[in-house]
Amino acid sequence: DEVDSLRDQVFRDLLVHMRGDPSVIPLALDLIMVSRHLERIADHATNIGEDVVYIVRGEDVRERGDKEVRIGLRERGQGPALAPAAAHEAGPRARGLMPEEQEFLQLFEAAAHNLLHAARLLQEMVTDYRAPAEQWRGLVEAEEAGDAITHQIIRKLNQTFIPFIDRRDLHALTSSLDDVVDGIEAAASRMVLYKVEQPTRECRELVALIVASAEQIVKAVTHLPRFDGVEQVCVEINRLENAADDLYRSAIGALFEGERPALEVTKWKEIYEILEAVTDRCEDVADVVEAIALKHS
């Protein structure tokens, strides 16, 4: 949380400098990128620390203080409490799976549905931009829900021998699903932090592509480990990612047309980059799902 606050303060300070002196914009963009990477390192360090404590002591490390622990997402002995839109029924299953294997797949379903929930929240935000700070809060909760599911999956991996799916594939799928939600929340946070007045048409279209990709991810994950139609789903996610690449290039080109304020260009350039990167992460999910499905075909 302290690193998140410092990152936000760095962004605010850099925005002030960019407004006062446009010549510092290139350097400021580099510093913003460095801040983002440092914040992600802090996230990973926290996750690793919590997992190590759990492995060594068997204790679930909880945050104390003013906030509820992960917004009440990690109750002892219970699965992650998802946002309402992320609640779902278990998807189709291959016959002959053990109960523990079923539990693993249900956790991945929860992660996929939470991802779709986050994508739809972002779409609501950019479509009806009435209270962005409040709307962003919903995305923070979705991101924390995703973190809770990720921790639960990793802990089960450390406790359980799962022969039906390669452990490396499970780690890769866990990480890639989490990265998508992190990127969605990051895009929303920039809109609030940069005090964006209204989302652009290109922004809304990129978010629509993210929602479409998220829907395909849910379709694929809920049919693991075997899914005869996985190739079609992965092809569609790849098509959506290519469409996002084209839209991103068009959006960046439009930023440099006419006499746009340099600060406005800087804000939207970063937001577009984050949104396009989210579609790349969706494709990463598809690649892992396809690899798992092929091994069980």
Instruction: List pLDDT tens digits, range 145-166.
Output: 999 999 998 888 877 776 667 7
* H/E run at residue 227: none
Q: How confident is the model at residue 283 (pLDDT cuts 50, 70, 90)?
A: very high
Residue 89: count other Cβ atoms within 10 Å of its Cβ: 6
- Residue 290 makes CB contacts below 8 A (sequence gap 6+) with 230, 231, 234
Total residues found in the chain within this entry: 297
pLDDT score of 65: 35
**90 band by pLDDT with thresholds 50, 70 and 90:** very low
- Predicted local confidence at residue 1, as pLDDT: 62
Lowest mean pLDDT among 57-66, 140-149, 207-216: 57-66
Above pLDDT 70, what percent of the chain? 69
pLDDT surpassing 70 at residue 111: yes
* pLDDT band (50, 70, 90) for residue 252: very high
Residues 6+ apart with CB under 8 A from 191: 125, 126, 132, 136, 199, 271
- Flag whether pLDDT at 210 surpasses 90: yes
Q: Pick the range with the lowest mean pLDDT from 36-50, 134-148, 173-187, 272-286.
A: 36-50
**CA atoms of 197 and 155, how far apart (whole Å):** 42
Q: Is the pTM of this model over 0.85?
A: no
Q: In which element (H, E) is residue 52 found?
A: helix 25-57
Residues near 11 by Cβ (< 8 Å), separated by ≥ 6? 32, 35, 193, 194
Q: Which residue has the higher pLDDT, 295 or 134?
A: 134
User: In which residue ranges of the chain is CATH 1.20.58.220 found?
Assistant: 1-59, 99-297
Q: What's the pLDDT band for 190 if we cut at 50, 70, 90?
A: very high
CATH of domain 1-59: 1.20.58.220
Higher-confidence residue of 67 and 28: namely: 28
Angle at 136 between CA 190 and CA 255, to 5 degrees: 30
pLDDT at 96 over 60: no
- Residues 6+ positions from 90 with CB-CB distance below 8 Å: 102, 106, 109, 222
- Is residue 275 pLDDT above 80, yes or no? yes
Pick 294 or 279 by higher pLDDT. Answer: 279
Report d(CA 257, CA 254) in Å as an integer: 5
pLDDT at residue 280 above 60? yes
Neighbouring C-beta atoms of residue 76, cutoff 10 Å: 6
Distance between CA 262 and CA 98 in Å, rounded? 58
The pLDDT, as a whole number, for residue 241 is 96
Topology of domain 99-297 in CATH is Methane Monooxygenase Hydroxylase; Chain G, domain 1 (1.20.58)
Higher pLDDT: 143 or 80? It is 143
User: Does 87 score more than 60 pLDDT?
Assistant: no
Calculate helix-pair angle for 99-127, 132-159, nearest 10 degrees: 170
Q: Classify 21 as helix, strand or coil.
A: coil
pLDDT at 222 over 90: no
The alpha helices in 59-163, defined as continuous H runs, are: 99-127, 132-159
> Would you state the structure tokens that stand for residue 88, as one six-digit string?
């779902």
